[in-house]
Structure 1
Amino acid sequence: MDALSLANLGWHAYFQQQLSLEEWEVAIPVRVIAAHRSQLDATGDLGLISIPLATDMPAITVGDWLLLKQGRFQRLLDRSSVFTRKAPGRKAQEQLLAANVDTAFIVCSLNDDFNLNRIERYLTLCHDAGAEPVVVLTKQDLCMDADEKRQQIQQLDPLLCVETVNGLDPDSAAQLQPWCRAGQTIVLLGSSGAGKSTLTNTLLNKQEQVTGGIREADDKGRHTTTGRTLLSMAGGALLIDTPGLRELQLAVDDEAIAATFSDITKLADHCRFSDCQHNNEPGCAVLKALECGDLDERRYRSFVKLSREQSRNQASLAERHKADRALGKFYKRTLADGHRLKGR
Structure 2
Amino acid sequence: MSNGDRLAALGWRAFFADQVDPEVLAATPPARVVRVDRTSVRVTGSDFDAALPFGPDIAVGDWVLVDRGAGTVACVLDRHTVISRRAAGLDRQVVTQLIAANIDTAFIVTSCNRDFNVARLERYLVLTMDAGMEAVIVLTKADLCDDPEAYARQAGAISDRVPVVILDARDEGAMTTLAPWCGAARTVAFLGSSGVGKSTLVNALSGGLVGAETGAIRESDARGRHTTTRRELHPLPQGFSVLDTPGMRELQLTDVAGGIDDLFPDLAELAQACRFSDCAHLAEPGCALRAAVDAGEVDPDRLARWQKLAAEDRGNTERQTARRKPSGRRPQGGPRRKGR
| TM-score, reference length from structure 1 | 0.90
Q: Aligned to 1:315, what secondary structure does the other structure show?
A: helix
Partner of 2:75: 75
Q: How does 1:182-331 map to 2 (within 5 A)?
A: 182-206=184-208, 208-323=211-326, 330=331
Alignment deviations for residues 74-116 of structure 1 (CA, whole Å, 9 cap, x no partner): 1110000110000002232000000011111111111110000
Q: Aligned to 1:5, what secondary structure does the other structure show?
A: helix
Aligned-CA RMSD value: 2.0
**Contact persistence 2:25–2:65 (CA under 8 A):** no
| Structure 1 residue 273: Cα displacement | 2.4
**Contact persistence 1:106–1:119 (CA under 8 A):** yes
Return the letter of the residue paired with 2:168: N
Partner of 2:22: 21
In 2: Cα distance, 1:139 partner to 1:222 partner:
16
| Structure 1 residue 326: Cα displacement | 6.2
| Structure 1 residue 268: Cα displacement | 1.7
In 1: Cα distance, 2:167 partner to 2:128 partner:
21
In 2: Cα distance, 1:146 partner to 1:266 partner:
33
In 2: Cα distance, 1:12 partner to 1:239 partner:
17
**Contact persistence 1:58–1:76 (CA under 8 A):** no
Larger relative helix fraction: 1
**Contact persistence 1:166–1:173 (CA under 8 A):** no
**Contact persistence 2:167–2:174 (CA under 8 A):** yes
**Contact persistence 2:16–2:78 (CA under 8 A):** yes
Q: Aligned to 2:64, what secondary structure does the other structure show?
A: strand
C-alpha spacing 1:109/1:330, structure 2 compared with 1 (3 Å): farther
Q: Which is worse superposed, 296-305 or 6-15?
A: 296-305
**Contact persistence 1:31–1:44 (CA under 8 A):** yes
In 1: Cα distance, 2:65 partner to 2:86 partner:
28
In 1: Cα distance, 2:17 partner to 2:331 partner:
37
Q: Aligned to 1:276, what secondary structure does the other structure show?
A: coil
Count, aligned residues: 328
Unmatched 5+ residue regions in structure 1?
338-344
Alignment deviations for residues 214-243 of structure 1 (CA, whole Å, 9 cap, x no partner): 212223333211000001234211111111
**Contact persistence 1:128–1:255 (CA under 8 A):** yes
In 2: Cα distance, 1:180 partner to 1:36 partner:
27
Unmatched 5+ residue regions in structure 2?
none
Partner of 1:143: 145
